A and B are shown apart, each in its own frame.
Chain A
Amino acid sequence: MSRTTLDLWVGFFVSMGIVSMIFLALRVGNLGGSNLGESYQLKARFDNIGSLKVRSAVKSAGVVVGRVSAIDFDVETYEAEVTLTISDRYLFPTDTFAKIMTSGLLGEQYIGLAVGGDEKMLKRGDVISKTQSAIVIEDLISQFMFKKASEGDVQ
């Protein structure tokens, strides 16, 4: 085989590899979509975060506006302290409400931001004061059963 055909094939092979890496990165992975660009950080405290993880989505009105960048346990208040990284393009009022929600019945958990009506906006490093913890399915079931049981007592 001559040198030029060899070079041609090896070049073709390597470019195919590069194309498939780009395909994996952009089309399959979230390298293109998750790019928040410039961002700022907010904190929020929850009694229970359920199965929320680092890199879980932060959504407002269903749109991804940021990601969870850190989860810590506060030893003084015994609460979970979640750091949210939000894209610079989105600003939220100070009375914004952060809820841990579940996509679908058994899906992944994410943080939903319900926007309030305050004029002032949250700044870098601020803490979201109004939060609602994750719904733990065992708690729901036991509540439901207690309620049923007490209804039965009345009858």
Chain B
Amino acid sequence: MSKFLGNFFRSIGHQVDDGIWRLGYACRFLLTLLIYSGISFRRFRLTAKEVYFTGVLSLIVIMVSGLFVGMVLGLQGYNTLQRYGSSDSLGVLVALSLVRELGPVMAGLLFASRAGSAVTAEIGLMKATEQLSAMEMMAVNPIARVVAPRFWGGVIAMPILAALFSATGVFGGYLVGVQLVGVDEGAFWSQMQSSVDFREDILNGVIKSVVFGILVSWISVFEGYDAEPTAEGVSNATTRTVVTASLVILFADFILTALMF
């Protein structure tokens, strides 16, 4: 029994130990990345290319999901609000849920699975095929040349995607609420405007999306750079990116919501 308990605690200790070590390693990696970020801005085209790959290529999925989420909010919200005779507040409900929570969170989750996984796989493959080593031997720092632009590309793209998600979502809610089920158009917009505050709601949503952008990009580039240089290692790292990034987004969202609202 005591032997079992000993092993049990030892395995917990090992897990915690390992986790803390990895976290420290990831933090040091972020620091190195920030130190070598100069080139991402001096030669902005490198970063712009990553904005294209992470942002522009995620446009369709973000906008279509935003539209449908907004439409569902419009339908469900109308069904509930109508029972209390306050269907005029539909605009408020749609806009607040999107701007405060769903916009940043859903865009973050989609971003992690669409762009984050791609970044991890790309960096991991470059490592597995010795491209990063080759770059190092060509006296080009792979963290400055490959990792940092991908990080900053993600950090730039994410708030834009979240804003697009919220905007298309509100439009989706408008389509269903006003055009389909017939909420008064004036009431929809004016109630929304009187209740959604720019600083309290919209700006806090933007702050959230910036934080998520940093977290997802950080996790993606770290997992890619840290991947074991084999096909299996890269695929494991890609899975880890999506899982870790999703959990971290939801956890960070809780913390930020508790601090902000």
Contact = CB atoms under 8 A, between A and B. Distances in A.
B49 A30 contact: no
Interface residues of A, number: 30
A28 B170 contact: yes
Contacts of B167: 19-20, 23-24, 28
B196 A30 contact: yes
Contacts, number: 88
B230 interface: no
A10 interface: yes
A28 B188 CA distance: 10
A33 interface: yes
B160 interface: yes
B99 A7 contact: no
A137 B55 CA distance: 51
A16 B161 CA distance: 9
A17 B164 contact: yes
B192 A28 contact: yes
Contacts of A29: 99, 193, 196-198, 201-202
A120 interface: no
A104 interface: yes
B102 interface: no
- The main secondary structure of chain A at its interface with chain B is helix
Contacts of A121: none
A77 B99 CA distance: 41
A17 B160 contact: yes
A20 B48 contact: no
Given A17-B164, A31-B202, A55-B197, 18 more contacts: A6-B48, A9-B56, A10-B48, A10-B56, A12-B56, A20-B167, A23-B167, A24-B99, A24-B170, A25-B202, A27-B170, A27-B193, A28-B166, A28-B170, A29-B193, A30-B197, A34-B197, A34-B198
Interface of B: 45, 48-49, 51-52, 55-56, 59, 84, 86, 95, 99, 157, 159-161, 163-164, 166-168, 170, 189, 192-198, 200-202, 206
